Amino acid sequence: MIQELCGVQEVCEVAESIYVLKFVSEGISKSVCAGQFVNIKTENSFIPLLRRPFSVYRTEGESVEIIFNVIGRGSAALQRKRAGEMLDVLGPLGSPFTIHRSDFETAVLVGGGLGVAPLPILTQFLKRARKDILTILGARTARRLVDTHLEQVHVSTDDGSRGFHGTVVDLAKRLLQNHTVKNPKIFGCGPTPMLRALGVFAIEHDIPSEFSLEGPMGCGVGICQGCPVELVHGDKKYALMCTDGPTFDIHSIRI
Amino acid sequence: MSMVNTSFALAGVEFKNRVLVASGTFGYGDECLDLVDVNTLGGIITKSLSLNPRDGNPPVRIVETPCGMLNSIGLANIGVDKFVSEKLPFLRTVDTVVIANIAASTIDEYCEVLAILESHDGVDGYEINVSCPNVKDGGLSFGTNLDLTQEITRRLRSMTRRPLIIKLTPNVAYISEFARAVEDAGADAVSVINTIIGMAVDVKQRKALLPTVTGGLSGPAIKPVALAKVYEASRAVKIPVLGIGGIMTTEDAIEFLMVGAAAVQVGTANFIDPGAGTKIAHGIRRFCEDQHLEDVGSLVGCLEAEVDASVLHSWL
């Protein structure tokens, strides 16, 4: 975990109102694992007061990328950043996806909306681990799809403007019920209702699954106790999204 | 080499500087070792410890507000026994003062927790949380009751010679009365202030943003309130006042010292920068060097333009 002032390299609109911000941090780029996040102070003021967590989207050399849409003050500030400006970044944080296991051969990456965020870096790691990859993406419309830096992509849109007309979970069910997918494990990320539906399907079909959750955090490092995730069993009622997560085995949490 | 004396003593315990990290904002001291050299802090105050582990409140626990945040953590903590077995071994190795913060829902429970800690090395003193606004039982109901606050202090005082600090709530009419009551009962210091009760509303849903409806407000938004409470309390008692409330910068900390705090606690700032406390400790030293002051203590209560107590009360 390091905290440093990082130079912004660029901010690009990669789909309608969706941006990728690239900054330089050799330390984070070299140490981050798929599924981890960075916590960014978006403005040098007390509004907004807290940092904002972003999954690492991709790394390239000494550069790190995050992806976001503009939903509030913090993300609006990021969208206005220009090359050369400095960004106070803390990371890499959180527990990564578990990929070096022999309990699967095909990684099935399922991303709803901005749930695509951790999938490109996950793809980088999975390729290194020589796993087969199948990617299933969903978006409201084709204009909001971000499908670069991924492998074997299948697409769904809510309005049918591209690919399968329906939800990403419905598409995932179709593809997974087709038995050509060998020994799958689902890596899911997206809105909670989507993950809930995907989780029900995965448990019914006994497919190992790990989800990356998103939610408000205070500190990102486990000191504020502000981001509880309800656990299903064990002696603790809650885990912390920031340190125990953001990735969780679906059997361990109630979402 | 700096010649500024940054240290101060409290009930026989020497602090290397006047900047501590506030309870609940620095975990158990071992979470951010990659980022912070905890030995540069004046002291670490632990997350509130209760007799049994506490799960804490369901989500949502934190809501950001302008220049501040509301929290409703609900005293989530590992419990005193696990603290002793899992956290104290590390805390024994640090070269800074370790203060255990204690929360409970009955007076006997406060005593039980303190008794357990008293039987171990590694804890240099206690801060008593009589003012948590986010739990149903105990917490604030003690801190707003003068007799109970005094009784807790008296009972705990009889059990320990280690420094005993009572953390007071601002959610009372006159914090000075509470400071005086615990001083009379034998407390060595008071921490002023805990969070201020606050709330935030989602107008579309017509719901409070926190499921507990209200929470504790902290951050820069509360600094002016905290300064006024420290000013009031420090003029009412002879024991040291530890100033807390929205300290983000060196200048903020110096303001607290000037209005009468003998030391400060950095809280919410740790969530944004876990190194905030060490940077502020360094900044205070630099300020004194620049001002050719030999002792940080000379800043304590140095505010000019004193007003008399009757005027002070008429503001409130």
pLDDT digits (tens, 9 = 90+) for A50-105: 999 999 999 999 999 999 999 888 899 999 999 999 999 999 999 999 998 778 99
A228 vs B: CB within 8 A: yes
Q: For residues A65 and A55, is the Cβ–Cβ distance under 8 A?
A: no
- Catalytic center residues of B: 132
Rounded to 10°, the helix A192-204/A168-177 angle is 20
Rounded distance, CA B196 to CA B69, Å?
Answer: 11
Indicate yes or no: CB of A226 within 8 angstroms of CB of B73. yes
pLDDT at res. B306:
61
Q: For residues B72 and B106, is the Cβ–Cβ distance under 8 A?
A: no
Give Rg (Cα) of chain A.
Answer: 18
Out of B71, B220, B275, name the one closest to residue A226 (CB): B71
For range B72-82, the mean pLDDT: 95
Q: How open is the CA angle A244-A66-A96, to the nearest 5 degrees?
A: 25
> Which of these, A242, A239, A255, A249, lies nearest to A53 by C-alpha position?
A242
pLDDT at residue A46 above 80?
yes
Rounded distance, CA B54 to CA B102, Å?
Answer: 13
Out of A49, A223, A226, name the one closest to residue B270 (CB): A223
pLDDT at res. B142:
86
pLDDT in tens, A174-228: 999 877 888 999 999 999 999 999 999 999 999 999 999 998 899 999 999 999 9
Q: pLDDT-based confidence at A21, cuts 50/70/90?
A: very high
Instruction: For residue B196, give the H/E element and its range.
Output: strand B196-199
Indicate the SS3 state at residue B153. helix
Q: For residues B233 and B190, is the Cβ–Cβ distance under 8 A?
A: yes
A255 vs B: CB within 8 A: no
Ramachandran quadrant class, B200 (left: phi over 0; alpha: psi -120 to 50; beta: rest): beta
For residue B59, list chain A residues with Cβ-Cβ distance below 8 A: 215, 227-230
Rounded distance, CA B47 to CA A40, Å?
Answer: 25
Nearest chain B Cα to A41, which residue?
B272
Task: Record the pTM.
Answer: 0.94
pLDDT at residue A164 above 80?
yes
pLDDT at res. B132:
66
Give percent of chain A above pLDDT 90.
91
> Which of these, B86, B38, B17, B16, lies nearest to B270 by C-alpha position?
B38
- SS3 of A9-75: EEEEEEECCEEEEEEECHHHHHHCCCCCEEEEECCCCCCCCCCEEEECCEEECCEEEEEEECCCHHH
pLDDT at residue B308 above 80?
no
Indicate the SS3 state at residue A240. strand
Calculate the CA B60 to chain-centre distance.
24
Indicate yes or no: CB of B271 within 8 angstroms of CB of A50. yes
Instruction: For residue B300, give the H/E element and its range.
Output: none
pLDDT at res. A100:
81
Closest Cα in chain A, distance from residue B225 (Å): 17
Closest Cα in chain B, distance from residue A243 (Å): 10
Give percent of chain B above pLDDT 90.
89
Residues in contact with B291: Cβ distance below 8 Å, sequence separation at least 6, in sequence order? none
Nearest chain A Cα to B79, which residue?
A236
Pick from A1, A46, A88, A224 the residue to mutate for testing the B interface (most B CBs within 10 Å).
A224
Q: For residues B227 and B260, is the Cβ–Cβ distance under 8 A?
A: no
Whole-number mean pLDDT of chain A? 95
pLDDT at residue B313 above 60?
no
pLDDT at res. B305:
63
Rounded distance, CA B4 to CA B286, Å?
Answer: 9
Q: How open is the CA angle B245-B246-B251, to the nearest 5 degrees?
A: 110
Indicate yes or no: CB of B55 within 8 angstroms of CB of A221. no
Rounded distance, CA B112 to CA B118, Å?
Answer: 10
- Backbone φ and ψ for B160, nearest 5 degrees, come out as -145, 150
Closest Cα in chain A, distance from residue B4 (Å): 29
pLDDT in tens, B168-197: 999 999 999 999 999 999 999 999 999 999
pLDDT at res. A155:
97
pLDDT at residue B314 above 60?
no
Q: ipTM, 2 decimals?
A: 0.94
Q: For residues B44 and B99, is the Cβ–Cβ distance under 8 A?
A: yes
